[in-house]
Amino acid sequence: MDLTWSASEESFRAECRSWLEEHVPRPGLPSGDTSEGFALHLEWERLLHRDRWAVVSWPEAYGGRGASLWEWLIFEEEYYRVGAPQRVTQNGIFLLAPTIFEFGTPAQQDHYLTRMSSAEDLWCQGWSEPNAGSDLAGITSRAARDDAAGGWRLTGQKTWTTRGAFCTHLFGLFRTDPDAERHRGLTYFLVPLDAEGVTVRGFGRLDGDEGFAEVFLDDVFVPDGDTDPAGGGTLGAVDQGWGVAMATTTSERGLTLRSPGRFRATAGRLVDLAREVDASGCLSELVADRVADAWIDAEAYALFTLGDVTDIVEGRSPGARSSYNKIFWSELDVRLHEVALELLGADAELDGPWMKGYEFALSGPIYAGTNEIQRNIVAERVLGLPRK
């Protein structure tokens, strides 16, 4: 074991820290889930991109720095430590991009990746449908072949689409083989939201902001995109979309979306709050214990992640174990906020940052495969309990 950072990693950290401290907006930005807030977040995203901090682990050709996974962790730690804004581009960068890197044609990679890191194209995900949430394989939105026009015609409805009302593109699964069932006969599509036949209706999430959208597709034409990916197209092989999509859900559940930096930063703020309450003589031992416990859990998550990164760097895939991460960080995030609200006493109900954060945290155990689904995965694929 070696729990020290190298000199070059330390200097990378120093560079992150000094840039972030100089550029992070003060006071923080309003929620990115309103149109005004989203616009301000876009300015921030473009600033990150200008100085090559938007996608540090990507190749330089697409706006990154070719940073190692360790450096990415360091960046994330510094990013949240300084209280920088939530990334409104994260669904594209963390969910779609790994799939494009793995399955995209060279033309798709060249077209999409830079436009994504520069926040010119803003991606939302089109997985869930009104009748297909946890049971994702039950999706019914379909894509019919239009050979004459050289493409596909998409029809159906996607929902719970995060920031759909503010995005420019959607990625998601559509049924291309109407006779196939469940996981078969699905294809991964990239769809510009300004295409004819697309209607997007934003609606309020739990916190009241317009962070969700329904996306209606009515005979939307998407060209094959082999020669010019600008109009959208398929990603990966036709009818093989489930396997292609699983590559991104693994990213989402696992390491890539949820670095420990965020939770350690929240735990640090929780401890600060507890100290304030303690100074006024109002901290009960019971709540102090819960603070300590949540803080330990944030540290445990950070260490667990170091183990994951070690495995990945050395060529051992965490595989189904990534379901552990998702359950743990999402429930930890809720707990951190619950304890903070308890510390706030009667002020808890004020619509302040802890309540906002609490509302946000509550989505974690639900999205990206509910934690009930994740527990099934742990039980069946990690522990080896029988499916039936």
Partner 1 sequence: MRFAPTEDQVDFRDAVRALLADTCPPEAVRAAWGGRVGEETGGGGGDGRVRAAWSALAEMGVLGVLVPESAGGLGLDDEDMVPLLVECGRAALPDPVTATAYVAAATLRDVGGEVADGWLPRLAAGEVAVAAGPLGDAPLAGALTADAFLVGDDAVLRWIPAGDVELEPLESVDGSRGLARLRGAATAGTALVEGPAAATVSAAAADRAALGAAAELVGLSERMLAMTVAYASERRQFGVPIGSFQAVKHQLADASLAVAFAAPLVLRAANSLAHGDPDAGLHVSMAKAKASSAARTAADASLQCHGAIGYTVEYDLHLFMKRAWALSAQAGGPDQHRARVRAALGLR
Residues involved in catalysis: 252
Query: Rule CB under 8 A: is residue 368 a binding residue for partner 1?
Result: no
Choose one: 168-176, 231-239, 256-264, 319-327; the region binding partner 1 (CB under 8 A). Answer: 319-327
Give the Cα separation of 301 and 299 in Å (integer).
5
Q: Which residues pair with 326 in a beta bridge?
A: none
Q: Which of 40, 132, 230, 306 binds partner 1 (CB under 8 A)?
A: 306
Q: Rounded to whole angstroms, what are the CA distances from 372 to 55, 133, 253, 270, 379? A: 32, 12, 13, 27, 11
* Residue number, 190 or 361, with CB nearest to partner 1: 361
Q: Which of residues 30-89 bind partner 1 (CB under 8 A)?
A: 70
Q: Which of 12, 304, 358, 360 binds partner 1 (CB under 8 A)?
A: 304
Q: DSSP letters along 127-184, please?
A: --BTTBSS-GGG---EEEEETTTTEEEEEEEE-S-TTGGG-SEEEEEEES-TT--TTT
Backbone angles phi, psi at 151, to 5 degrees: 180, -155
Query: At closest approach, how far in Å is the CB of 5 from partner 1?
Result: 6
Contact 57, 69 (CB under 8 A): yes
Give the Cα separation of 129 and 126 in Å (integer).
8
Two tokens, residue 106: 């060279």
Q: Which of 110, 311, 338, 359 binds partner 1 (CB under 8 A)?
A: 311
* Residue number, 182 or 316, with CB nearest to partner 1: 316
Phi/psi region, residue 281 (left: phi>0; alpha: psi -120 to 50; beta: rest), is left
Give the Cα separation of 63 and 93 in Å (integer).
12
Give the Cα separation of 298 and 263 in Å (integer).
6
String marking each residue 168-207 x if it binds partner 1 according to CB under 8 A: ----------------------------------------
Q: Which of residues 323-352 bind partner 1 (CB under 8 A)?
A: 324, 327-328
194-203 CB contacts, 8 Å cutoff, 24+ apart: 194/168, 195/220, 195/221, 195/222, 195/231, 195/232, 196/220, 196/221, 197/154, 197/221, 200/164, 200/165, 201/165, 202/164, 202/165, 202/166
Choose one: 14-22, 48-56, 108-116, 286-294; the region binding partner 1 (CB under 8 A). Answer: 286-294
Choose one: 28-36, 55-63, 167-175, 378-386; the region binding partner 1 (CB under 8 A). Answer: 378-386
Query: Rule CB under 8 A: is residue 378 a binding residue for partner 1?
Result: yes
Which residues in 289-314 are b (16+ Cβ under 10 Å) and which e?
Answer: ebbeebbebbeebbebbeebbeeeee
Q: Which residues pair with 143 in a beta bridge?
A: 154
* Residue number, 187 or 323, with CB nearest to partner 1: 323
Contact 216, 157 (CB under 8 A): yes
Query: Rule CB under 8 A: is residue 22 a binding residue for partner 1?
Result: no
Query: At closest approach, how far in Å is the CB of 123 from partner 1?
Result: 31
Query: At closest approach, how far in Å is the CB of 362 from partner 1?
Result: 19
Q: Which of 43, 120, 228, 372 binds partner 1 (CB under 8 A)?
A: 372
Q: Which of 307, 319, 345, 353 binds partner 1 (CB under 8 A)?
A: 307
Query: Rule CB under 8 A: is residue 380 a binding residue for partner 1?
Result: yes
Choose one: 198-206, 246-254, 258-266, 289-297; the region binding partner 1 (CB under 8 A). Answer: 289-297
String marking each residue 239-278 x if it binds partner 1 according to CB under 8 A: --------------------------------x--xx--x
Give the Cα separation of 203 and 213 in Å (integer).
6
Query: Rule CB under 8 A: is residue 309 a binding residue for partner 1?
Result: yes
* Residue number, 342 or 359, with CB nearest to partner 1: 342
Query: At closest approach, how far in Å is the CB of 287 from partner 1?
Result: 9
Two tokens, residue 295: 């803080």
Task: Name the residues that contact partner 1, by CB under 8 A.
Answer: 1-6, 9, 70, 271, 274-275, 278, 283, 285, 288-289, 291-293, 295-297, 299-301, 303-304, 306-307, 309-311, 314, 321, 324, 327-328, 372, 375-376, 378-380, 382-388
